[in-house]
Each structure stands twice: as structure tokens, then as C-alpha cells.
Structure 1
């Protein structure tokens, strides 16, 4: 089974898996599940992953046209509201994927529209003029270090949420944050750092660029959003980030020589996030056919090494289940981006 048929089989398998997860989790958000014989770690509020669970249902509702799926998506979005008060930039993950995309797809959904508006304004209030952007913030488990860290992960949903659901001030701040990230986290050859941390003297200490594939993938997604929202000025930097990814992590195995962190090859979440970025860019920059081809190759490889088409389970997210312990898990985040690619391809 190849091409579109395999994609359609995998899409239906993911939808079936969503029903199974919902039956296990009740009214709590599923965060992650380490293995086939373990239970889901659940959350009433959803942490930063909750928006992806709601987002999966919005994507499903758009695909099936089912009124029942739409109701389920709306109900999960409504449960995200307590996170509006969380002091974290990762609220943009929650409310872009969990509310804004639902409003955009349905063309109605006043409640989701209001949630997205409220989130954009709440995040905007935490803007740091001295930094020229947002730190990660102390919420969602980041602690004190988060108040001093400029981080790349939430760049794409922050740009999208503030530009799309804030006013002119929020859009201006979003672009200023983008410029700060480019200045502090990007390099001229396309590799991105994950963090820059303020020390006691307010100087930014940067980590090594290009060492963490998922960080590079988040950067690519952010730059694709920058091109969509702000245009040609960000085209070259977006393409450079994708070219760096393709050269270093274009397959599903890691290069022999690594710098810094030792990343196991199984972190397929980085593959699906980067593929989403390249597919988005391929629509925005005509003629760059390699972006589509690379994304297609990566998703085919992910389907080859996983059993998603049979079970709907995508155990592809390398996740800190404890402070000092990373484990490969099933998560709504990784599954969301895999589904996004399957639908787009």
C-alpha cells in the first residue's frame, strides 16, 4: 500500500486511536503514554500539550464534517480556559492549536474565537520591552529559569496567535519577538539555538546552535509562520533553516558526528514538525520543490518505521517524563503534527 491510500489508512487509524484515548481518559487531557502496557499521564488543565488534543479533534471535525466531532472539539477547547492565567509563553501552543485553528476551520465558534482573543491579549501583557520579546515564563513547569530564558519552541504559535487574534500592538510585539529570536537564536548558516538565558547582569548566554533536532524543527515552523505573516523579508532565513535541517537530519537516522546533546534517532516528533514547516513553506515560496519532496520523504520514512497505519499509535515523542529522564512516548503533540502532514500531503 503506497501514497494516498496509505495516508488515508493512517488518518482513519489515528481517528480510531483518538476514540480509544478518549475512552481511557474521560474528561482529563492525555499528556503522554510511555508504552503499550502503561496508562496515560493525565491532566485536568492539559499543561502545554492540551491544545494539541483539542487541535486533533478540530482537524478531525474539518476532515469528517461530523457535527459530533465538532461538538467534541468545542468541548475540549472550553476546558482550556484555566490556562489563560498561566505565566508561560507556551499558552500560545494551547490556544493557537486548541482554539484558534478551530475557529478558523469552522468559520463560527464564537467561544473559541474569544478564547484565542483573550489568550493573545494575556500573552501580550507579559511582553518584556528590555528583552524585545517574551521569556518562557515560570509556568507549565519551567520554574525560575523560565523567567530568564528566551526559547524557540513556541515561536510559530506565538506569531500566529498574536498577529491573528490581537490588535496592532500585539502584531508589532510579535514581530519584535521574532527579530529578537533571529538575533539571539539563529546563525547565519541556518542552525538555530534552542535557548538564550539571561544571567544576573541581564546578558544573554546562548547554547550551541544546531544540536537539537526538535529545536531546529520548531525554528523552521516559526520561520514558515514569519513568511506567511510578514512576507519576503524572512524568506532566505526560512530556507536556510530548512536547508540546515535537510543536510543534518534529513533522514530518520542521526549523523555520525554530533555536537553537544546526544539525541537518540527515534525522536520522530522532530521529523514530523520539520515536515510540517517545509510543507507550509512550499506553498508560500513557489518553485522550491525540494521542500515538498523532503517533507514527503520524511513522512514516508516515519510511516515505514512506525505502526501508525495499523494501530493509529505514534510513539514518536522524546519527552522528559522526569527532570533527568527522557523516554519515547505517545503524545497528542507528535500525533497532531503527523496528522497535519497526512492531511496536507
Structure 2
């Protein structure tokens, strides 16, 4: 593997140049996934659960270029996330943390994050010990899902001492529910008064992003003393267990989107998420820093070398089971690739995002 400086900077510039093209194409709408042949985006009006990643990518571009126009575009995009503050969804963590975390001294973003932290704290179900998945996207409301943890822990922790306690509760309750026996991740469980918590059929246990999202949440929590001090030994052990799925010998750098489909599509977005999580872990005292940093760089270099075309991170899989966007550019894949590359090049401090 070559040194990161020889390829990461060029790749980062390509991804952020692509973001400028995307911004011109999508206007005030939010990109979701793009066709691998044409590069044309499917967009949403409100951003769905991915809107914060588009705002975050624009903030990375603004930091990269230092341009007032880029900063204004990022600020305006972040402001459009405000309607999600009161939405009933645990993905407010993904939307409102990652959409504001890179905003530096932007007053609007800071105020939005403060409002979001208060709303997230108010949404904590004290009996269940977590912020439920919610009803914003339809389906059962009382779910615990792996993708409802990253971002939400940081968002809750931003709410002061009470928020830190809520963040720890939200995190550990999800770990209780999402970590099955034999090292398997159970991506989602539903609660009913009659049966308690039961595993959901979808997403299934072989879902690529389930373990990646949990690893990211745990790695982030280990950088927040107000959260980590509530069970540091457990978090360290869970981090090692989840990281092992990405670092053990013979493990593919880019996973299958669904382990149940051995001939099915890959998911580069899961790999990018895991790479960022491993970079975070590499900065935690007592962790296997050299191993995690090396593996993260190897994943990022593979993504750049084999899956990045004209700034588009291809071979991301939105939904393998439904056959939706199975080899596409995904906006969160772009974001996490850019974030990982930004950490390797020194553009950002990975602990802070």
C-alpha cells in the first residue's frame, strides 16, 4: 500500500469537484443516489434520512476550497434540514449531527444542532431506554435499529449532562438489542407489549451496513468522555468485536451488500463507513491503533483504486433485497469516503465529526 499522501489528496479533490457538479444539477433538492452510467441523480425534496450527508459533503468542500460561495451553499443546505428537528425519527442523528458537525462557526448550524439536541432528548422513551426509530418513514414506530445509533449518540450528548446520560442509555440499549450471539449483528428489533423485543426480518442479519453503523457509533462514543465513562470496558470490548469483522485476515475490504446473496452486489458505502469508524478507533488510547489505521487506509485505497470514477463512488447498494440502486453512487458513500480521505490528508480531525 502506498502512502496516503500519494493518492488521497487527488481522490478527495475529485470527490469534492463532483459535489460541485451535483450541487449545480440538483439545486435545492437533495441527492440520494446516482445512476452509475449517466451520473444522473435521483433526488428528494426534503432530504430523507440522507440529507445531512449532503450538507456534510458541502461543508467538506467549503473547508477544502475556503471559498465564500461554497460556504454559503453549505450553510443554506444545512438550514433546509430544520424541518427534521421535530420529525419522529431516530435518523435525526444522521441528519442533524452530520449535517452540522463540520459547520465550524456557522451560527445557523450551531443553533440548529442545539435545537435538535433538545428535541432528541425529549424523544427518549424512558421505559425503553432509547429514542425509538419513529414513524416518520412509515411502518412500526417502536423499533431499535443499528442506523438509529450513529449521530444520535453525539446529538444527545450535545445536550449537557442529561443529554450525556440519554446518549449512553440509547447506545447501550441498542447494543443490548443489536448484538446477537456468535458475533452476529441483529440490525433491527421491534417492541410490542405482548412479545417484547423481537428481531425484524428486514434488514436481515447479513446486512452490510448494520455492523458498520454500530461500529461507527461505538467509535464515536469512545471519543466522548461524558458517554464513554459510563461503561468504558464494555465499549472497548464491543469496539474490538465489531472491528474484528472488518480486520480479521481474509475479510474483504469491500463487503457484500447482503451475506445471503453471495453472488449479489457489493456495498462500497458500508466499507466507507467502516473505514471512518476504524480511523476513529485508531485514535482511542489502548486500541489496536496501528492495525485499525492500516486497515482503514487499505479500505479507502481500494475504494479509490477500484470503485471511484470521476469523483463518483460507485458500487454502493441502496437496497439489495428490493433491487434498488444496487451498484450506484450513494450520497452517504460519497460523504464517508470524503470524510475518511479528509482525515488522511489532515483536512479534518476525525475525532470531532
- The TM-score with structure 1 as length reference comes to 0.88
For 2:341, the equivalent position in structure 1 comes to 342
For 2:168, the equivalent position in structure 1 comes to 175
For 2:275, the equivalent position in structure 1 comes to 275
Residues 301/48 of structure 1: CA separation in 2 closer, same or farther (3 Å cut)? same
Q: Report the CA distance between 1:66 and its aligned residue.
A: 2.4
Q: Verify: 1:161 aligned to 2:155, yes or no.
A: yes
**Distance (Å, rounded) in 2 between the aligned partners of 1:205 and 1:261:** 24
> What is the aligned-residue RMSD (CA, Å)?
2.5
For 2:351, the equivalent position in structure 1 comes to none
Q: Report the CA distance between 1:316 and its aligned residue.
A: 3.4
Residues 259/111 of structure 1: CA separation in 2 closer, same or farther (3 Å cut)? closer
- The TM-score with structure 2 as length reference comes to 0.86
**2:50–2:94 Cα contact (<8 Å) kept:** yes
- Residue of structure 2 aligned with 1:195, choices 188, 197, 200: 188
Would you tell me which structure has more helix in proportion to its own residues?
A: 1
**Distance (Å, rounded) in 2 between the aligned partners of 1:344 and 1:325:** 31
Q: Report the CA distance between 1:322 and its aligned residue.
A: 9.4
**1:191–1:244 Cα contact (<8 Å) kept:** no
**1:189–1:240 Cα contact (<8 Å) kept:** no
**1:252–1:265 Cα contact (<8 Å) kept:** no
**2:247–2:292 Cα contact (<8 Å) kept:** no
**Distance (Å, rounded) in 2 between the aligned partners of 1:321 and 1:43:** 20
Q: Report the CA distance between 1:2 and its aligned residue.
A: 4.9
Q: Report the CA distance between 1:212 and its aligned residue.
A: 2.0
**Distance (Å, rounded) in 2 between the aligned partners of 1:315 and 1:259:** 19
**Distance (Å, rounded) in 1 between the aligned partners of 2:218 and 2:106:** 28
Q: How many residues align?
A: 333
**Distance (Å, rounded) in 2 between the aligned partners of 1:325 and 1:260:** 17
Q: Report the CA distance between 1:201 and its aligned residue.
A: 0.9
**Distance (Å, rounded) in 2 between the aligned partners of 1:263 and 1:204:** 32
Alignment of 1:202-217 (within 5 A): 202-206=195-199, 211-217=206-212
**1:221–1:273 Cα contact (<8 Å) kept:** yes
For 1:330, the equivalent position in structure 2 comes to 329
Residues 69/333 of structure 1: CA separation in 2 closer, same or farther (3 Å cut)? same
Q: Verify: 1:184 aligned to 2:169, yes or no.
A: no
For 2:63, the equivalent position in structure 1 comes to 62
**Paired residue secondary structure (1:320):** coil
Q: Report the CA distance between 1:253 and its aligned residue.
A: 5.7
For 1:228, the equivalent position in structure 2 comes to 223
**2:255–2:267 Cα contact (<8 Å) kept:** no
**Paired residue secondary structure (2:185):** coil
Residues 226/321 of structure 1: CA separation in 2 closer, same or farther (3 Å cut)? same
**Distance (Å, rounded) in 2 between the aligned partners of 1:319 and 1:80:** 22
Unmatched segments (≥5 aa) in structure 1: none
**Paired residue secondary structure (1:32):** strand
**Distance (Å, rounded) in 1 between the aligned partners of 2:44 and 2:89:** 17
Residues 22/322 of structure 1: CA separation in 2 closer, same or farther (3 Å cut)? farther
For 2:144, the equivalent position in structure 1 comes to 150
For 2:131, the equivalent position in structure 1 comes to 134
For 1:87, the equivalent position in structure 2 comes to 88
Residues 253/114 of structure 1: CA separation in 2 closer, same or farther (3 Å cut)? closer
Q: Report the CA distance between 1:264 and its aligned residue.
A: 3.1
**Paired residue secondary structure (2:319):** strand
**Distance (Å, rounded) in 2 between the aligned partners of 1:149 and 1:329:** 28
Q: Report the CA distance between 1:323 and its aligned residue.
A: 5.3
**Distance (Å, rounded) in 2 between the aligned partners of 1:344 and 1:204:** 38
**Paired residue secondary structure (2:198):** strand
Which one is further off, 200-209 or 25-34? 200-209
**Distance (Å, rounded) in 1 between the aligned partners of 2:8 and 2:215:** 24
Residues 118/343 of structure 1: CA separation in 2 closer, same or farther (3 Å cut)? same
**1:197–1:206 Cα contact (<8 Å) kept:** yes
Q: Verify: 1:117 aligned to 2:111, yes or no.
A: no
**Distance (Å, rounded) in 2 between the aligned partners of 1:101 and 1:205:** 37
**1:31–1:49 Cα contact (<8 Å) kept:** yes
**1:34–1:327 Cα contact (<8 Å) kept:** no
Residues 331/342 of structure 1: CA separation in 2 closer, same or farther (3 Å cut)? same
Alignment of 1:43-62 (within 5 A): 43-62=44-63
Which one is further off, 186-195 or 284-293? 186-195
